[in-house]
Structure 1
Amino acid sequence: MTTEPSGSVLVLTNAHDVTADVVLRILTDRRVPVVRLDPGTDLHAGASLSAAYREGEQRGTLRTPSRELDLTEVRSVWTRRPSPFDGPPEQGGQDRRFAASQSRWGVGGILATLAGAHYVNHPWDNRAAESKPAQLAAAQRSGLSVPSTLITSDLEQARAFASEQTGGVVYKPLWNTPYTIDGRPQQVWVRQVLPHEITATVALCPHLFQARVAKAFDVRVTAVGDRLFAVRIASPHLDWRQRQSLMKCTPIAVPDQVGRAVSAYLGIFRLAFGAFDFAVTPAGDWYFLECNPNGQWAWQPEPVTDSIARAIADRLQKGPEA
């Protein structure tokens, strides 16, 4: 007979995260205690966090306007989409920057070192797994097929690489950096580029160029531990994220070899969750494109979304036993 783990589930996310709400409803129905916190904003709006380190002991307390949480009793931490540590809004200049950095390292450090808690995912592991070069290296080590890729700021190398790829090349940013034009947010989508379109401005920063996969369709594989949930994506766009209203998703089985490689990939980064994107050729070859360690998943068909939500809830409920 197994004993139900005790303690609360701590969910770190912003107030507008509707994806988190899907899982929280399941945990509430199961009568699992949950505390939701957006540390970047809530700690400037009535919440407080303290940690004490004494010989042989580490304790901490989180207080919100509605409850008090003993941090030694946290069974799981779900790092979803917390707001950045921007500092107190009433401060400005270097005072706000100082407070923001102290919060990032102080509050962030406390919440990342809760002894005995199970993390989905640990924030430091998330950060390591967000690096595109690290993703490509891990995918190769795991046995996944990776399209030929070049990361460079050298114009000649970039043009030579683009000319060598018979199926063409695509450009994708190494990081989703916020960018606005006339105050309007802009998004850099994956797009095909021709050699002559690569100009001397490539020297301003590293660029990622990748051989274009002659794909029949895309696949999103959402991994929650050893449980895989995959959908085939049909879209008129090279980057299906560009207009999700035009894509069609249907469940698809994951080949055993790909499933084993996905498990190995998660192990390299110590992830409990990962959202993998693949391009599949007409011959049935699966090419790894990227893995978002904290990717969105509630846009998938309702049965798939519900299964993913329950798998995440299971891990959070089990805590260290997951």
Structure 2
Amino acid sequence: MPARPAGPVLVVTRLDDATADLVIAELNQRAVPVVRLDPGDFPMGVRASASFDDSGMAGTMRTLSRAFELKAVRSVYWRRPNPYASSPGLREQDARWCLDQARYGIGGILASLPLAHYVNHPWRNRDAEYKPAQLATAARCGLRIPPTLVTSDPCQAREFAARYAPVLYKPLWNTDYTGEDMRARTVWIDDVPPEAIDSGVSRTAHLFQQRVRKEADIRLTVVGDQFFAVRVDGSPGVDWRRHYDVLSYTPIGTPPHIRRGVRSYLQAFGLVYGALDFGLDADGRWWLYECNPNGQWAWFPDTICGPIAEALADQLAKPGADT
């Protein structure tokens, strides 16, 4: 297998990404060259030219401040870029056409860098973001999951909620949503009693899941073969993401059977990195809720963030045979 080049690490993300900032800072400390690129800046702030022949792909890409050879990229840290855009001033249909050309053109180039090591490859991230696929794969890998129903049938949903009470509602995807006041809105995870389920369920797919009677939450961040499990205590509600200011975080070990199951899970999706959310019940059992293949971790205390940033920098910085 060809060795990875010793060129730059390409960090694909938007400007306001605190998680990527910590990894970039660690790479800078190691004097590893970094190029930060947001494909959402194309075509105004990003330019690309790629050629293809029997020897493969070659070419260059430029941001407003950097330029790099496509063959020279040693690794790619794919974080959270902005959506692809089109040049301003175009008619709606023309803008839509240009946006699709950008997605499949620039996106195809960035996903095909010849010798780069991806953390994670964007297409692997995409495949791993479907919650039904997550749950089915987790069960095959020996991880314990709560009873879950995905349905558009209100009767099925009410029967499930009555049988497995207490039951939570979870969005299948966190779509950007703006209210009438133009402020961003979030659909949080919350309890749903059977009587609250009405005919609106029939309008799309919904996920209902039995609520784990938990003692604490666990966020398990995995980078390659390194496991960083953190016990999260103090949440007054079922969705601990709403209460960062009152939470406490304690690093804990990861049981061997959880390690085995998670390794199998990540391998099934081709992931190098994953952020997994578990509930810990009174009997010490870990219940997997979901795995975010691109989950954030920068809100943790420095003592937790530091080792995760170092592990990611280890993955991205080292030239040599790809893994």
Partner SS for 1:15: coil
Q: Does 1:16 align with 2:23?
A: no
Gaps of 5+ in 1: none
Q: 2:159 corresponds to which letter in structure 1?
A: A
Alpha carbons 1:5, 1:318 under 8 Å: kept: no
User: Deviation of residue 178 (structure 1)?
Assistant: 1.4
Q: Does 1:175 align with 2:148?
A: no
- 2:281 matched to which residue of 1? 281
Judged with a 3 Å threshold, the aligned counterparts in structure 2 of structure 1 residues 124 and 314 are, in CA distance, closer, same or farther, namely same
User: Deviation of residue 306 (structure 1)?
Assistant: 0.4
- 1:80 matched to which residue of 2? 79
Alpha carbons 2:5, 2:73 under 8 Å: kept: no
Q: 2:219 corresponds to which letter in structure 1?
A: R
**How far apart, CA to CA, are the structure 2 residues paired with 1:186 and 1:67?**
35
**How far apart, CA to CA, are the structure 1 residues paired with 2:91 and 2:4?**
47
Q: Does 1:265 align with 2:269?
A: no
- 2:118 matched to which residue of 1? 119
- 2:58 matched to which residue of 1? 59
Q: 1:290 corresponds to which letter in structure 2?
A: E
1:192-271 aligned within 5 A? 192-234=191-233, 235-271=235-271
Q: 1:91 corresponds to which letter in structure 2?
A: L
Alpha carbons 1:9, 1:77 under 8 Å: kept: yes
**How far apart, CA to CA, are the structure 1 residues paired with 2:75 and 2:264?**
23
Q: 1:103 corresponds to which letter in structure 2?
A: A
User: Deviation of residue 89 (structure 1)?
Assistant: 3.2
| TM-score of the two chains, using structure 2 as the length reference | 0.95
Judged with a 3 Å threshold, the aligned counterparts in structure 2 of structure 1 residues 90 and 15 are, in CA distance, closer, same or farther, namely farther
Alpha carbons 2:13, 2:38 under 8 Å: kept: yes
CA shift digits 1:162-220 (9 cap, x unpaired): 1111x411000000011222112111111111111100110000110011111000000
Partner SS for 2:97: helix
User: Deviation of residue 4 (structure 1)?
Assistant: 9.5
| TM-score of the two chains, using structure 1 as the length reference | 0.95
**How far apart, CA to CA, are the structure 2 residues paired with 1:4 and 1:104?**
26
CA shift digits 1:243-297 (9 cap, x unpaired): 2112111111111111111111110111010000000101001000000000111
Partner SS for 2:241: helix
**How far apart, CA to CA, are the structure 1 residues paired with 2:162 and 2:147?**
13
Partner SS for 2:85: coil
**How far apart, CA to CA, are the structure 1 residues paired with 2:4 and 2:123?**
28
**How far apart, CA to CA, are the structure 2 residues paired with 1:181 and 1:64?**
34
**How far apart, CA to CA, are the structure 2 residues paired with 1:67 and 1:186?**
35
Gaps of 5+ in 2: none
User: Deviation of residue 125 (structure 1)?
Assistant: 0.3
Percent of paired sites with the same residue = 50
- 1:187 matched to which residue of 2? 186
Alpha carbons 1:5, 1:317 under 8 Å: kept: no
**How far apart, CA to CA, are the structure 2 residues paired with 1:80 and 1:192?**
31
Alpha carbons 2:4, 2:74 under 8 Å: kept: no
Q: 2:230 corresponds to which letter in structure 1?
A: V
The range that moved more, 312-321 or 206-215, is: 312-321
**How far apart, CA to CA, are the structure 2 residues paired with 1:147 and 1:303?**
31
RMSD: 1.5
Alpha carbons 2:145, 2:287 under 8 Å: kept: yes
User: Deviation of residue 67 (structure 1)?
Assistant: 3.1
User: Deviation of residue 73 (structure 1)?
Assistant: 0.9
- 2:315 matched to which residue of 1? 315
Q: 1:26 corresponds to which letter in structure 2?
A: E
**How far apart, CA to CA, are the structure 2 residues paired with 1:260 and 1:242?**
31
User: Deviation of residue 65 (structure 1)?
Assistant: 3.4
**How far apart, CA to CA, are the structure 1 residues paired with 2:166 and 2:56?**
59
Partner SS for 2:74: strand
User: Deviation of residue 42 (structure 1)?
Assistant: 4.8
Q: When the two structures are aligned, how many residues end up with a matched partner?
A: 318
- 1:44 matched to which residue of 2? 44
